[in-house]
Amino acid sequence: MTNQSKPKYYLTTPIYYVNDRPHIGHAYTTLACDFLARFKRLDGYDVCFLTGTDEHGQKVEKAAHDAGVSPQDFTDSVSQNFRDLTDSLNFSNDDFIRTTESRHKVACQTLWDLLRERGHLTLGSYSGWYATRDEAFYSETELVDGKAPTGAPVEWVEEPSYFFNLSQWQDRLLAFYEANPDFVGPDSRFNEVKSFVAGGLRDLSVSRASFKWGVSVPNDDDHVMYVWLDALTNYITATGWPADGSFGDVEKYARLWPADLHMVGKDILRFHAVYWPAFLMAADLPLPKRVFAHGWWTNEGQKISKSLGNAIDPLELAEQYGLDQMRYFLMREVPFGKDGDYSAQAIIHRINGDLANDLGNLSQRVLSMVFKNFDGKMPAFPDQPTTEDRVLVAAADALLPAVREKMDRQAFHEALRLIWQVIADANRYVDTAAPWVLKKTDPARMAEVLAVLAEIIRQVAILIQALMPASAEKMLDQLGVATDKRSFAQIGGAKRLAKGHIIAKPEPIFPRYIGEGAV
């Protein structure tokens, strides 16, 4: 199939502030998107997966100032750290956008002009509270003990500002939510968004006049755009919008926009589910199909914060435990959408249990027996499968649609739970069938049992490529599955390994973790 004839899937991570080094929270959002992007590619979609860096605004300007370098030099170097992370963590993003790029400035200014031409922007003056850490405006009534509701310090700001007429969009937003019940996930978060909007919206200050590090407002050099208007626009910039602009790409924009999914953390849902759709409606542009808000990680029970200095470095985790092991843990341990706690004990438990014992041993045991007893050639799949054979194979054959349904709802932990259920079934089957005993008592049956098990391993390995690409590749190499036979089109009955199919010498793929903290 050519890319043009495949269905498209466009998904985005938030773009990361370059005021800080990447930590586990950043890696988490991008990993979730990577898992989904790879899954969709294997499932026959033409995927565009976008990530990048959010480089303007007061927060970044201040970080550059504190580091004693110009904002441009500062953002160049920190943005590079985020770009490097995508390679180190094996993220498969198709593009990496920086808001300081010209293509992005053009898109921001075009969006601004559309909003202004349609009468949605007015020049006024802002006086109120601003939290640089959140890059957000707060009213007096929102403050809690003199701080933002997020705990961020606030300062009083009084300056000329353009306002977007957000208050006019309440009814249209509510009608849109009503008509699009899947627009925000999880449901509990969607309810929060709806009540926020139902409670009434105030016009939004969308420009700043007291500093310069931003995209300038067209025809008014005294103002730079509010960093969130600038940042949100990245999602449409990357599609080649505006199609008639200097960086435009008519075909790409038409194919990619609207986005299928914006993945965000719960702290920035309001910007994506309220402000962004309002800006797009006001500019007469199509709205994204879905926004999903995931939860936050704590570290051994404590909130992760700069002042506590307890940020978890994803590169160190990958180094210590293995990259695919870390990727598995982050997606499996916590129901996606809920908050979760990182602990060394929890990751070791997952590595030694789910990976080393359940999947690693299964694959190693089965492939070693095939390798040793059948000269590295697959025995035939049973002509007349027993009930046990049928039940196990049927469970594996039924996985893809069930897993797909979970992935489409971003229930990543559930998708993995379903796969590991089949792995558990296979482990029970191998214990009951005891092929090492059959070797002496009924070698023909032993051959059938191993063929059934190899089929389960093949299907599982194909499915887990999306999350653990390197390990799954090793498993499929050992099974001798050709590289063009690894997509989801290969799952199910018609594609089983034929008798005589040659496998490679098996090597353990998921070693037990026996380092520091192991019990």
State which H helix or E strand residue 428 sits in. helix 412-433
Residues facing residue 156 across a β-bridge:
129
Cα angle for residues 69, 72, 74 (degrees, 5° grid):
45
E-strand stretches of 451-491: none
Instruction: Tell me the residue type at 483.
Output: T
How would you write 156-173 as a 3-class SS string? EEEEEEEEECHHHHHHHH
Q: Is 361 helix (H, G, I), strand (E, B) or coil?
A: helix
CB neighbour class for 309 (10 Å; exposed up to 12, middle 13-18, buried from 19): exposed
In the complex, least distance from residue 232 CB atom to ligand MSP, rounded to whole angstroms: 5
In the complex, least distance from residue 113 CB atom to ligand MSP, rounded to whole angstroms: 20
In the complex, least distance from residue 274 CB atom to ligand MSP, rounded to whole angstroms: 13
In the complex, least distance from residue 37 CB atom to ligand MSP, rounded to whole angstroms: 17
Q: By C-beta, is 232 or 418 nearer to ligand MSP?
A: 232
Binding site residues, ligand MSP, CB under 6 A: 14-17, 25-26, 28-29, 54, 231-232, 264-265, 267-268, 296-297, 304
In whole angstroms, give the CA distance from residue 118 to residue 282: 8
Q: Is 220 helix (H, G, I), strand (E, B) or coil?
A: strand
In the complex, least distance from residue 154 CB atom to ligand MSP, rounded to whole angstroms: 17
In whole angstroms, give the CA distance from residue 287 to residue 294: 20
CB 422 within 8 A of CB 359: no
Q: By C-beta, is 28 or 138 nearer to ligand MSP?
A: 28
Cβ-closest residue to ligand MSP? 265
Q: By C-beta, is 268 or 467 nearer to ligand MSP?
A: 268
Question: Each residue of 115-144: b (16+ CB within 10 Å) or e?
Answer: bbeeebbeeeebebbbbbbbbbbbeeeeee
Question: Which two three-digit tokens encode residue 268?
Answer: 């920035």
Pairing, β 95-98 against β 136-138: unpaired
In whole angstroms, give the CA distance from residue 60 to residue 54: 9
Q: By C-beta, is 50 or 407 nearer to ligand MSP?
A: 50
Q: By C-beta, is 231 or 423 nearer to ligand MSP?
A: 231
In the complex, least distance from residue 28 CB atom to ligand MSP, rounded to whole angstroms: 5
Cα angle for residues 277, 282, 286 (degrees, 5° grid):
55
Query: Virtual CA dihedral for 20, 262, 419, 457, nearest 10 degrees?
Result: -80
Q: By C-beta, is 76 or 358 nearer to ligand MSP?
A: 76
State which H helix or E strand residue 51 sits in. strand 46-54
In the complex, least distance from residue 340 CB atom to ligand MSP, rounded to whole angstroms: 8
In the complex, least distance from residue 303 CB atom to ligand MSP, rounded to whole angstroms: 8
Token pair 């020049």 in the structure block, residue: 123
Distance from first CA to last CA of the chain, Å, rounded?
Answer: 49
Q: By C-beta, is 79 or 363 nearer to ligand MSP?
A: 79
In the complex, least distance from residue 15 CB atom to ligand MSP, rounded to whole angstroms: 5
In whole angstroms, give the CA distance from residue 423 to residue 453: 10
Q: By C-beta, is 16 or 374 nearer to ligand MSP?
A: 16
Instruction: Tell me the residue type at 75.
Output: T
In the complex, least distance from residue 327 CB atom to ligand MSP, rounded to whole angstroms: 15
Q: By C-beta, is 46 or 54 nearer to ligand MSP?
A: 54
Q: By C-beta, is 297 or 321 nearer to ligand MSP?
A: 297
How would you write 73-93 as a 3-class SS string? HHHHHHHHHHHHHHHHCCCCC
In whole angstroms, give the CA distance from residue 396 to residue 353: 21
Token pair 């920086």 in the structure block, residue: 98
In the complex, least distance from residue 202 CB atom to ligand MSP, rounded to whole angstroms: 21
E-strand stretches of 100-139: 121-131, 136-138
> Got the DSSP string for 375-388?
TTBPPPPPSS--HH
In the complex, least distance from residue 360 CB atom to ligand MSP, rounded to whole angstroms: 28
Q: By C-beta, is 41 or 332 nearer to ligand MSP?
A: 332
Q: By C-beta, is 25 or 245 nearer to ligand MSP?
A: 25
